[in-house]
Amino acid sequence: MQNKGFHRYIHYIPIIGLALLVIIAVYARSQGIFNSVDTLRQFIKHFGDAAVLIFVLIQVITPIIPILPGGIAVVVGMLMFGNFPGMLYSYLGLVAGEILLFLLVQRYGKSFARFILSEKNYEKFEAMLARHTNGIRNLLVASFILPFLPDDIVCLVAGMSKMSLRQYTLIVLLLKPWSIATYGYLMIYFVDKASHLMLPFL
């Protein structure tokens, strides 16, 4: 009987952990930590030698709790640790986060998607789920190859489809480096151009 009770309660551990992540993330956002590249970089720097670990954990959270402006953490990693190490740390965190995202939506279904998505993004999720479940593999590949597509929403749809964890993980492992590098370098290019355009006015 005690074992049955233990196994029943252990199912709540992921929910409790996710709830704690939400609370921490909401608090961090209310403090303005995720508002810009500079504020996030300063926050991570405070952890000293543990900065890499904190950065990777932030990237794990990012696909599950979409509180960061698109790709901001990738840029922070490249600026803080160098281009290649920054992209590598982003890769480790984002791959882990997107696999966890797949498993969570597979386990808890639409209720999980509704919990983490805004109303607008949930409507996109519902529309995508209705139209693309059968062709989800091609859509997932396209979302990683083409920058600025809502790949996290596509990952949620993949978790609701018949796609296996093995196939999903293989696609993420192979294509996420391209997605990170393309997005990171494009964002840095635009930030650099914007800063040059602003110089005459400063």
The tens place of each residue's pLDDT in the chain, 202 residues long, gives: 444 444 444 445 555 655 655 665 666 666 666 566 677 777 777 778 788 888 898 888 888 876 666 577 888 888 888 889 999 999 999 999 999 999 989 888 888 888 888 788 888 888 888 776 667 888 888 888 887 777 888 888 898 888 899 999 999 999 999 989 888 888 777 766 655 555 455 4
User: Has this prediction a pTM greater than 0.85?
Assistant: no
Q: Which of 57, 150, 140 is nearest to 100 (CA)?
A: 57
CB 79 within 8 A of CB 40: no
pLDDT confidence of residue 10: 42
Query: Can you give the residue ranges of every domain in the chain?
Result: 2-201
pLDDT confidence of residue 16: 60
The angle formed by the CA atoms of residues 182, 188 and 189, to the nearest 5 degrees, is: 85
Whole-angstrom distance, CA of residue 132 vs CA of residue 146: 17
Q: Which of 96, 60, 89 is nearest to 74 (CA)?
A: 89
pLDDT confidence of residue 132: 65
pLDDT confidence of residue 91: 94
pLDDT confidence of residue 90: 93
Scan for tokens 């978790």, then name that residue.
159
